[in-house]
Amino acid sequence: MRKKERRNKGGIKLSITPLAAQSSAMVSLHLVPRLIALLLLLPGRIRSSSPVFNSLLSDLQGDPELEERCRDLLRDFGRRYESYVKCAVPSARPVRICENCHIQFEMLRVVYNNISSDQADPENCRDSLLRADRLMLVYMLFQNLEDVWDVAHCSRGYHGLSNITLRYMAKLNQSLSCFESQKNNHSELCRVCRADYKDLNEFYSIMEKNQTLCIDIEDSMNATRRLWSKDFNCSFPREETVPVIAVSSFMLFLPIIFYLSSFLHSEQKKRRLIHPKRAKSNNSLMNIQDKHS
Amino acid sequence: MANITKRVSWSSLCEDRAPGEGTALLDDTPGARRCRRQEETLKQPNEIPHNEKLLSLKYESLDYDNIENQLFLEEEGQMSPMGFKCVEISRWVICGLIGFLTGLIACFIDIVVEIVAAYKYKIVKRYIDQFVVEGGLCASVILWAILNSAFVMAGSLVVAIFEPIAAGSGIPQIKCYLNGVKIPRVVRLKTLVVKVFGVICSVVGGLAVGKEGPMIHSGAVVAAGVSQGRSTSLKKDLKIFEYFRRDTEKRDFVSAGAAAGVSAAFGAPVGGVLFSLEEGASFWNQMLTWRIFFASMISTFTLNFFRSIYNGNPGELANPGLINFGQFESGAYKLYEIPIFICMGAVGGVLGAGFNALNYWLTIFRIRYIHRSYLQVIEAILAAAATATVSYILMYCSDDCQTPGEHQAVEYPLQLFCPDGQHNSIATVFFNTPERSVRNLFHNFPGSYNSLTLFLFTFTYFFLACWTYGLTVSAGVFIPSLLLGAAWGRLIGNLLTNSGVSIFADPGKYALMGAAAQLGGIVRMTLSLTVIMVEATGNVTYGLPIMLVLMTSKIVGDYFAEGLYDIHIKLQSVPFLGWEAPATSHSFTAREVMSSPVMCFNRTEKVGTIVDVLSNTSAKHNGFPIVSDFTTNEPGRICGLILRSQLIVLLKHKVFVERAQLKQRKLLLKDFRDAYPRFPPIQSIHVSQDERECTMDLTEFMNPTPYTVPQETSLPRVFKLFRALGLRHLVVVDNENRVVGLVTRKDLARYHLGKHGLEELQLAQT
């Protein structure tokens, strides 16, 4: 839940218009495709439409607000952004973003931190790059990437390649190679690879509990499980239908017996009626009326 | 003209009785000489099976009407303006305490249930997971059933042995109490303890029950206890709040307690106030409302605060109620959805009426045949086992597998035969505490449940919930109704979403409306339920559709059957007074309604006479008119009214005229309060032969200005007096102010509008 809120916050920042802020949930849903589009478009545009870019640059050069130092930072940010996106997009499916791109992301983060920590003099780069206009493009671009990084939990698993992650990888590879070796005979595969797979599965469950999962691991495990359950069909079959049904119907039979027996054997509860005293004259009066009518 | 025929048949009924058999006396004792008239004692074939058309003798009225006798006037005269202010302040303090303690109890129940249920589900889950792999799944059914039964057995045993009144949700009982009926033992400390323990056991035991209804009862008990400043059960008297030791004040506080209970249960302070308003509205004033609201607010705040401590972030007040429906993110509804909601209301009404009718038959069967406590315990155990079994079968057979989403952790995911990484969808509703299941149904994203799953769940849960309500366990019907409604509501939502029209996006919204419709169809509350639902959702936008849904379900449901609580009140044979006198009763006069002849006393009465009248077991009267200048066959003129409880206190303190010089001090109002609320029975008071010859002067103690009506007053007028003033006795006099009869609650409550016009209920010993 908390995670979602954070994402929503990002969403609101992304689109400043009040309408979008109103339906923040929608924004958060739309955020991902939009982002991907951004990622795809941006580097391409920098290269392919360079004349336009140049003309813009010349405008910028005329901008007295922007110092050379800041311009360098901005260029640096752009380069690293590009390299990160170049890495991230191909790693989208199957998800390997944490594994492949954590170095690029770290570099991007460093340059962003440089920008945002640059606040020495009144003409600092933080203000001129991050807060100078309504769009706050640099801020937004980085914020979105950071959100993606958070949602993917990349900081959990690939904070350097931790020991646990490496062990997981080993187990995964073992299972996969077992699958590979028994590919042709599924029933045999289920029998032979069960130990490996079970080991992997249990290890994964422990990781899940300790919250040391990043999206790469989750995705690889999901794929493996799909292989195991769907493709190789090694799930547990429903074998014990008869005993389960027998036990259940016995259990359900008990109340019926209980109600029947208490109906037949328990004596029925009777209530003793009490006749309160009423005004006698009233009755006789009414009887007279009755007789008259 | 139906009532006329009924009247005739009634009178002929009296004629049919065989005269001269000396049973069923009301006040036919040697002492009943003054107002006695020539009347044969009558007898009928007098043993009948229990049915809904009875009034039980064991219920008495509360003394809501203040007794303005001389003692009262003296005490009031002595009180300074400061004293009155202190009383007012202590009212506020008490309301605060009520709220605080109620919230605390709610918090306690909630946390214990959470811990124990988590433990139970973990064990069962471990075994099911293990047995799926290794085989032997039927062992896990048995394990689950036995675990459930063990919890339910503990709860049911405690209820059946120690305090049967703690069974059920307690809302019918509190409704009766607020209506002015004294239900024996309903607001005692022991009841509270049993209730809390019972509720924990039955919820953990996996029955189709909730802990919300019992919260209302618990709040009422807390209120009744706190306001008295002492506990008779613990024999502890704090010597505070003595001013409030009478029915009038106590009942006001009980309404605050009920409100605090609702408020803690649903996080709905306004709903709580309105609940009290709806159920006990005849005695109401603005200051009381304001105090009740205070109690409600404190209660929900306390729960919220302690829960935040339990959850490890103190001060983060995010859980105002035991059940919290959670925020609906999809926002508002669309105009074109309103007709669908209304149709859902109608469905809820029909299903609710079916539920009630089924439960009615079951309850009659239970009262008639399952009245021994060991049978009741066995029944509860069997129900628990069957609930577990049915849930298990459904889970076993279900093919509906779901992948857990990013933002919704499933608490106890059961994989069963699903592919790895997925969990059984029906298990998220069955293998969970009902509150969580409701939330899951409201909030899990579209597609979390397939329609077949929902249908099967609705179908089985309907019967399970219906069966469970009325077992000898403390448990409420709110949550099962909500769950049931949420299931079929979500089913409708699913069907609409799958219909290919993209405008119906969120099945969770339909689950909410279904829940409202189902609950409304079962309990038939209107105003308070709307507000409770709105508050529990935290979304005022849904106010109108919820209201429409509840209106429809009530109208449709009332067409088929009564509300569940009303059914149970009737089956308990409680003399409950409705809002108004039954229609077509204008032709009845007080003369026909009243009991007559009346047992009266003189201003100065012989002790022997009083003791004889009071100890007459066949007629346990409670109010005795005081008359003057009677002759042997003429009734006397009324000059006051005295209650049994007062007489007993007088006898206990031996306030006899002849002993006046021996007495150390004058009797004060305090002496009456100290004896309240458990006045000793007359048998425990020893009166020697000498003392029997003494006399008592009742002038000082009687209520000198009782309400009286002439004989020709119509039934609806009498009814209105009772309902609006909270009367217990109404003396009927002739045009010379002579006592001719006495109207009590039971005399009025016996008329009710049945299928064949006006019918009369019979009095019975239960």
Taking only the tens place, the pLDDT of each residue in B155-174 is 999 999 999 999 988 999 99
Residue B134 in any domain: the answer is no
Judge whether B706 and B625 are in contact, CB under 8 Å.
Answer: yes
**Residue B67: pLDDT band with limits 50, 70, 90:** confident
The pLDDT confidence band at residue A124, using thresholds 50, 70 and 90, is confident
Q: For residue B709, what is the enclosing H or E element?
A: strand B708-710
| Domain boundary, last residue among B541, B571, B601 | B571
Establish if B327 belongs to a structural domain. Answer: no
How does residue A32 score in pLDDT terms, banded at 50, 70 and 90?
very low
Out of B329, B382, B420, the one facing A25 most closely (by C-beta) is B329
Is B499 found in the same domain as B439?
Answer: yes
Give counts: helices (H), strands (E), chain B: 27, 21
The rounded distance, in Å, linking the Cα atoms of B343 and B514 is: 10
> Between chains, do A255 and B389 touch, taking CB under 8 Å as contact?
no
B623 and B506 belong to one structural domain: no
* Separation in Å, CA of B537 to nearest CA in chain A: 17
Q: For the residues B296-315, what does the mean pLDDT come to?
A: 90
**Angstrom distance (rounded) from CA B357 to CA B349:** 12
pLDDT for residue A128: 80
Instruction: Give CA–CA dist B748/B724, Å, rounded.
Output: 14
- Segments forming the whole domain that contains residue B551: 335-368+403-571
Whether residue B707 sits in one domain with residue B659 = yes
Give the C-alpha separation, B474 to B196, whole Å: 8
What does the radius of gyration of chain A's CA atoms come to, in whole angstroms? 36
- Among chain A residues, the shortest Cα distance to B741 is held by A279
Residue B376 maps to a domain: no
Task: Give the DSSP letter string of B275-323.
Answer: HHHHHHTTS--HHHHHHHHHHHHHHHHHHHHHHHHHTT-TT-----SSS
Greater pLDDT, B289 or A205: B289
B138: nearest CB among A4, A243, A290: A243
The verdict on a CB contact (< 8 Å) between A236 and B132 is yes
- In this prediction, residue B447 has a pLDDT band, given cuts at 50, 70 and 90, of confident
On whether both B273 and B173 belong to a single domain, the answer is yes
B369 → closest Cβ in A1, A266, A271: A266
| Residue B468, domain CATH | 1.10.3080.10
Is B371 within 8 Å of A266 when comparing Cβ atoms?
yes
Nearest CA in chain B to A276: B26
Same domain? B39 vs B90:
no
User: Chains A and B: how many Cβ contacts under 8 Å?
Assistant: 170
pLDDT tier for residue B85 given thresholds of 50, 70 and 90: very high
Q: How far is CA A248 from CA A251, B85, B125, B396, in A?
A: 5, 65, 18, 11
Task: Give the lowest-confidence range in A229-238, B97-106, B110-119, B463-472.
Answer: A229-238
B133 within domain boundaries: no
Residues of chain A with C-beta less than 8 angstroms from the C-beta of B367:
269
Where residue A160 falls (left for φ over 0; alpha for ψ -120 to 50; beta otherwise) is left
**What confidence score (pLDDT) does residue B10 get?**
38
How far apart CA B523 and CA B518 sit, in angstroms, is: 9
Q: Which residue of B has its CA nearest to A4?
A: B407
Instruction: Give which of A251, A261, A280 to mutate to test B binding, by max B Cβ within 10 Å.
Output: A251
pLDDT of residue B353: 96
**Which pLDDT belongs to residue B630?**
62
B contacts of A262 (beta carbons < 8 Å): 369-370, 375
The pLDDT assigned to A273 comes to 85
Q: State both tokens at A84.
A: 């990160």
- Are A222 and B421 in contact (CB < 8 Å)? yes
**Between the ranges A232-236, B2-6, B23-27, B398-402, where is the mean pLDDT highest?**
B398-402
Reduced to 3 states (helix: H, G, I; strand: E, B; else coil), residue B23 is coil
Question: What CA–CA distance (Å, rounded) separates B570 from B51?
Answer: 9
This model of the complex carries an ipTM of 0.85
Relative to beta strand B236-237, strand B401-402 is unpaired
Q: What is the mean pLDDT of chain A?
A: 73
Least confident of A30-34, B240-244, B262-266, B754-758: A30-34
**Residue B412 and residue B506 in one domain:** yes
> Among B522, B540, B571, which residue terminates a domain?
B571
Give me the mean pLDDT over the B443-461 stretch. 86
What percent of chain A has a predicted confidence (pLDDT) above 90?
A: 11
Question: In this structure, are B466 and B355 located in the same domain?
Answer: yes
Strand partners, A257: none
Q: Would you say B462 and B478 are in contact if contact means Cβ atoms under 8 Å apart?
A: no
CB contact under 8 A, A283 and B11: yes
Rounded Cα distance, B617 and B473, in Å: 33
Spatial distance between the Cα atoms of B748 and B593, rounded to a whole number of angstroms: 7
- Residues B62-67, mean pLDDT to the nearest whole number: 86
Contact of B98 with B248, CB cutoff 8 Å: no
CB contact under 8 A, A255 and B370: no
Q: How many angstroms separate the CA of residue A99 from the nearest CA in chain B?
A: 21
- CATH for B634: 3.10.580.10
Q: Which residues of A touch B572 (CB under 8 A)?
A: none
B281 token code pair: 């509205």
The reply to whether B102 and B202 lie within a common domain is: yes
CA distance to B94, B387, B672, per residue, from B87 (Å): 10, 51, 19
Q: What pLDDT is attached to residue A92? A: 86
Closest listed residue to residue B479, CA positions, set B487, B350, B494: B487
Q: Which of B137, B367, B762 sits opposite A244 (nearest CB)?
A: B137
pLDDT at residue B100 tops 90: yes
Query: Is B597's CB within 8 Å of A274's CB?
Result: no
B153 lies in a domain? no
Angstroms from B420 CA to nearest CA on chain A = 6
CB contact under 8 A, A290 and B11: yes
Task: Give mean pLDDT, residues B408-430.
Answer: 78
Sign of CA dihedral B300, B301, B306, B312: positive
Residue B219 burial (10 A CB sphere; 0-12, 13-18, 19+): buried
Which residues of chain B lie closer than 8 angstroms to A270, CB-CB? 47-50
Q: Could you tell me if residue B392 is inside a domain?
A: no
DSSP 8-state symbol, A165? H
Closest chain A residue to B149 measured between Cα atoms? Answer: A251
Chain B nearest-CA distance from A277, in A, is 6
For residue B385, the chain A residues in CB contact (below 8 A) are: 251, 254
In this structure, are B603 and B503 located in the same domain? no
Task: Tell me the pLDDT band of A57, cut-offs 50, 70 and 90.
Answer: low
Whole-angstrom distance, CA of residue B454 vs CA of residue B447: 11
Contact A254 B386 (CB under 8 A): yes
**Shortest distance, CA A97 to any CA of chain B (angstroms):** 18
Distance CA B636, CA B625 (A): 10
CB contact under 8 A, A252 and B392: no
Exposure pattern of B322-335 as b/e (b: 16+ CB <10 Å)? bbbbbebbeeebee
Closest alpha carbon to B564 in B518, B509, B507, B515: B518
Chain A residue with the nearest C-alpha to that of B327: A1
Inter-chain touch B132–A263, beta carbons under 8 Å: no
Cα nearest neighbour of B138 on chain A: A244
CB contact (8 A) between residue A240 and residue B591: no
Task: List CB contacts of B386: < 8 A, sequence separation 6 or more.
Answer: A251, A252, A254, A255, B464, B467
Contacts of B331 in chain A (CB under 8 A): 23
Can you say whether the dihedral through the CA atoms of B531, B533, B537, B541 is positive or negative? negative
pLDDT value for B7: 37
- Residues A133, A138, A143, A148: is their CA dihedral positive or negative? positive
Over chain B, what is the mean pLDDT? Answer: 85
Residue B152 belongs to a domain: no
Three-state SS at B627: strand
**Size (chain B), residues:** 766
The whole-angstrom distance between B581's CA and the closest CA on chain A is 20
Residue B231 has what DSSP assignment? E
**With an 8 Å Cβ cutoff, are B764 and A271 in contact?**
yes
Say whether B596 and A255 touch across the interface (CB within 8 A).
Answer: no
Query: Which of B310, B325, B348 is the endpoint of a domain?
Result: B310
Residues B554 and B594 in one domain: no
**Block residue for tokens 């029950």:** B209
Partner residue opposite A274 with nearest CB, options B57, B390, B592:
B57
- Residue B199's pLDDT is 94
Chain A residue numbers with beta carbons less than 8 Å from the beta carbon of B318 are none
B479 with B504, same domain: the answer is yes
Domain count, chain B: 3
Sign of the CA dihedral A54, A56, A62, A63?
A: negative
pTM: 0.83
Q: Are residues B354 and B407 in the same domain?
A: yes
- Say whether A156 sits in a helix, a strand or coil: helix
Cβ separation B420–A229 shorter than 8 A: yes
Mean pLDDT for the stretch of residues A263-280: 80
- With CB atoms and an 8 Å threshold, state whether A283 touches B15: yes
B375/A262 Cβ within 8 A: yes
Q: Is B750 in a helix, a strand, or coil?
A: coil
CB-nearest partner of B11 from A246, A254, A286 = A286
The structure tokens 């290269």 sit at A47
B724 domain residue, yes or no: yes
